[in-house]
Structure 1
Amino acid sequence: TFFEIQNSADFKEVVQGIQSALKSSNDDRNGKWFTFMGGDRDDADYFVSTPFSKFADLDKDEDGVWQVYEKVNGKKKADELRAKFRSSVVDVWSYIYTLNKDLSN
């Protein structure tokens, strides 16, 4: 998932809060966060990548990150963090990439 940001400090605070909630709830999601350098002004600033070994893993029934955060920190804090997220983000979009083993080393 790609994120175009207007307030990087707030966005980082949101991501750190969610990551902390996931860790404290022993959630084993292994998303990796990346920062872009350079590119067009309308490009993403950050993206998170979560590898799956098969498409069926995408259908796993689990709480979303906001639900996990709310269970750990309560509804009031979850609503506050979600508002901070919304005000820090300009746009969010996603792609699914698949490994092409025939073209890879």
Structure 2
Amino acid sequence: MKRISNYLVILTMGLILNWTLGSTLTAQTEPLGHLMSVTEFTVKPGHEMQFREGIKAWKACYIENKGEWTWRLWSRQQGEGNVYVLASDMANWAEMDKTDESGKNCQMLAMNLINPHIEKATNHMTRFQPGISNSNPLEGEIIRVSFYKLNSINGYKMMEVVKEVEEIRKKAGLDIRGYWYSWVTADPESPNYHVVTGFKDFAAMDVVQEGVWQTVEKEVGKAKRDELQAAFRSSLESSWNYVFKLDKDISRPSK
């Protein structure tokens, strides 16, 4: 994507871009949240130190050149390969038209010190869903991200269930914990939605909290819980989740 390539000159990738089922269904009824560019880097085996040092050098150059861009780089804690995810917010699509002279001044560092250590890179755009998300800034250095790929028959049911469940939780006096995003570009294996839950640290993940379906059953009864749970499950083709840790040394969450 143009905006990312102005900052980190990544490997040339052929991306298949299409509007996802979920984003199309909600676009006309939900208030628009900000866009978030998500770039996933798979680092070559044994190259993690060089990759991180390359980004540190690029970050120092960019700040020295008074660059304005901010980003977070998250290290995935499970799964195949050594994966980092770069997340960057954008107010709107028009930001893609902008160029960044500060980033251009540091391009050679990216080409020489970062690119050689990347095995694969993919980039997609997602959009924040404010109506069903926590309204406070994300805090903490650990996040759990759950991904949902919808099926073509009942996929529309998922967001209906999520909205209803959050209303039940609100009436019970519970805060919304997650940050929901719809995927507005995708390849054939991409999810339609993901939700982010933040934790101060890994120890915070040990704190036992009442489950979503427990709350639903307690507030509206088992029959309604079963109905909503069945509708949610029927909407999915697949789901998966990972835990990520913020790498503060190679991030710049604020100017």
The 5 Å alignment of 1:15-30 reads 15-30=162-177
Which range moved further: 25-34 or 65-74?
Answer: 25-34
TM-score for the superposition, normalised by structure 2: 0.40
C-alpha distance 61-29 of structure 1, shift in aligned 2 (>3 A): farther
Tell me the alpha carbon deviations over residues 31-72 of structure 1, each in whole angstroms, 9 at most, x when there is no partner: 010000122122100000011111111111121101111111
Which has the larger helix fraction? 1
Q: Specify the alignment match of 1:44 in structure 2.
A: 191
Find runs of 4+ consecutive structure 1 residues off by over 4 angstroms: none
Q: Specify the alignment match of 1:78 in structure 2.
A: 225
Unaligned runs of at least 5 residues, structure 1: none
TM-score for the superposition, normalised by structure 1: 0.92
1:68 to 199, 215, 222: 215
Q: Specify the alignment match of 1:9 in structure 2.
A: 156
Which has the larger strand fraction? 2
Q: Take 1:57 and 1:25, find their aligned partners in 2: how far apart are those partners?
A: 23
Indicate the RMSD between aligned Cα atoms, in angstroms: 1.2
Q: Specify the alignment match of 1:95 in structure 2.
A: 242
Partner letter of residue 13 of structure 1? E
The structure whose Rg is larger is: 2
Unaligned runs of at least 5 residues, structure 2: 1-145
Q: Take 2:202 and 2:173, find their aligned partners in 1: how far apart are those partners?
A: 23
Between the two proteins, what is the percent identity of the paired residues?
A: 38
Q: Take 1:56 and 1:25, find their aligned partners in 2: how far apart are those partners?
A: 27
Q: Secondary structure at the match of 1:71?
A: helix
* Residue 9 of structure 1: how far off its partner (Å): 2.3
Q: Take 2:157 and 2:210, find their aligned partners in 1: how far apart are those partners?
A: 24
Bigger RCO (CA 8 Å, 6+ sep): 1
Tell me the alpha carbon deviations over residues 17-36 of structure 1, each in whole angstroms, 9 at most, x when there is no partner: 22112211222342010000
Which range moved further: 82-91 or 28-37?
Answer: 28-37
Q: Secondary structure at the match of 1:97?
A: strand
Paired residues in the alignment total 105
Q: Secondary structure at the match of 1:95?
A: strand
